[in-house]
Structure 1
Amino acid sequence: MNKLNITLHSITLLAIATLFYFQFSSVKQGATDLQDSTVNTPVINFSPGGIVYVNSDSLLEQYEYFKKQKSDFENRQSRIRNELKSESDKLQRDVELYHQQAIGMTDFQKQQKEEEFVMRQQKLMDRKDQLLDQLDEEQARSSEELFTRLNNYLNKYNQDKNYQFILGYQKGGGILYANDSLDITKTVVEGLNKEYKAEIGSK
């Protein structure tokens, strides 16, 4: 189960905007009087430096808060996996032991034992569902917290920058080309890590 990477990796850091607008007009007059078609394309004006982007992949690789959350989540996954495996292995051993001893049991004893195994199996499945639900909730909270942190930081960061768009760029995403001169990832990561370091240092 690797939901955190897929979900956090898919968070929109701010906005991925793709603007398409086509306006076509043509005028035809008579069979002997064909005029040229006209194409009116709207001009969208952005002030110089009005758009920048953050590389989402690089940010998640370098943001210490995310790396800590990812590590904690993976450790939690590992503990759950070990717990479930331990219970499953114990049940399997008990079933094998029962088969070895069943020849000396009465039908009533066999029935009781088999009912016990069914109950234990169901309990194990319920426990698995409970733990996976808890992981889903943790993942959702972590995703929301990550988005909130990024959003809050970028709002502060942009107060004196006045960018019109801060886009989230990642390989295979909606933005097909991004000029390196518009990349503010390094600055943003440094600022986020500085805030996070100050936060954990105050605890």
Structure 2
Amino acid sequence: MNKVILSISLLLSLASCQEAQKIAFVDNSKLLDDYQEKKDLETMLKAKIDKYQHKRDSISQAFQIKAQAFEAQAKSLAPAVAEQRFKELSQESQMLQQQLMAEEHAIQEESRTKMDTLLKKVKNFIKEYGKKNDYDFILGANDGGSVHYGKESKDITAEVVRALNEKK
């Protein structure tokens, strides 16, 4: 009986001596909103989108002028000639639409690829930050609810953003 009590008290004393785990969380949305590289990426992509939209609008306007000129001229053309030019205009319209769609798709793909790369970089940085600062866990808080509550003192978002922005 004494051995059982001694064993239990030894286990309890060992359990009480265990070091508390170091746990913190990062607000994922705030982290990304405050991360300078993400801001720079968004600015660069917005510039590409604006350039594309300007080009698309210019091409569309030029084509509309061409189509209106054809429409005004079509009445005075022979039916076979008018039909041939209409087919040519239709083919040109389809070609322009395909070209613009390809450019739009390329911008979307570039955006997706660069954002995925950025997210991997942030994830790896947080992992290294956790190791360097001796955290047992760094949780990610987001709108999806992976952290429903966290003490303010456990929120290391500002520290991580500062460290991430300093690392270039």
| TM-score > 0.5, shorter chain as reference | yes
2:130 touches 2:136 (CA, 8 Å); kept in 1? no
In the other structure, the counterpart of 1:38 is: none
1:108 aligns with 2:108: no
- Please list the CA deviations of residues 14-58 of structure 1 after superposition, one character each: whole Å capped at 9, or x if unmatched: xxxxxxxxxxxxxxxxxxxxxxxxxxxxxxxx9635321111222
Among 57, 80, 84, the alignment partner of 1:85 is 57
In the other structure, the counterpart of 1:18 is: none
How many Å separate the matches in 2 of 1:147 and 1:138?
A: 14
How many Å separate the matches in 2 of 1:182 and 1:47?
A: 17
1:53-92 residue pairs with structure 2 within 5 A?
A: 53-92=25-64
> Runs of 4 or more off by more than 4 Å in structure 1?
none
In structure 2, do the counterparts of structure 1 residues 176 and 83 end up closer, same or farther at CA, with 3 Å as the change threshold? Answer: same
In structure 2, do the counterparts of structure 1 residues 58 and 47 end up closer, same or farther at CA, with 3 Å as the change threshold? Answer: farther
1:1-203 residue pairs with structure 2 within 5 A?
A: 48-171=20-143, 173-196=145-168
Who wins on radius of gyration, i.e. which is larger?
2
TM-score (normalizing by structure 2): 0.80
- The residue type equivalent to 1:192 in the other structure is L
Could you tell me how far 1:64 is from its partner in structure 2?
0.7
Higher mean C-alpha displacement, 114-123 vs 124-133:
124-133
1:84 touches 1:124 (CA, 8 Å); kept in 2? no
In structure 2, do the counterparts of structure 1 residues 179 and 127 end up closer, same or farther at CA, with 3 Å as the change threshold? Answer: same
- Please list the CA deviations of residues 49-103 of structure 1 after superposition, one character each: whole Å capped at 9, or x if unmatched: 5321111222122111000001111111111111112111111111111111112
Structure 2, gaps ≥5 residues long: 1-17
2:130 touches 2:137 (CA, 8 Å); kept in 1? no
1:55 touches 1:168 (CA, 8 Å); kept in 2? yes
1:56 touches 1:168 (CA, 8 Å); kept in 2? yes
Higher mean C-alpha displacement, 168-177 vs 93-102:
168-177
2:132 is paired with a residue whose SS is: coil
Could you tell me how far 1:118 is from its partner in structure 2?
0.8
- The residue type equivalent to 1:146 in the other structure is L
TM-score (normalizing by structure 1): 0.67
Structure 1, gaps ≥5 residues long: 1-45, 197-203
Identity of aligned residues (%): 24
Could you tell me how far 1:155 is from its partner in structure 2?
2.6
How many Å separate the matches in 1 of 2:65 and 2:123?
A: 52
How many Å separate the matches in 2 of 1:148 and 1:170?
A: 17
1:104 is paired with a residue whose SS is: coil
How many Å separate the matches in 1 of 2:144 and 2:116?
A: 23
RMSD: 1.9
Number of aligned residue pairs: 151
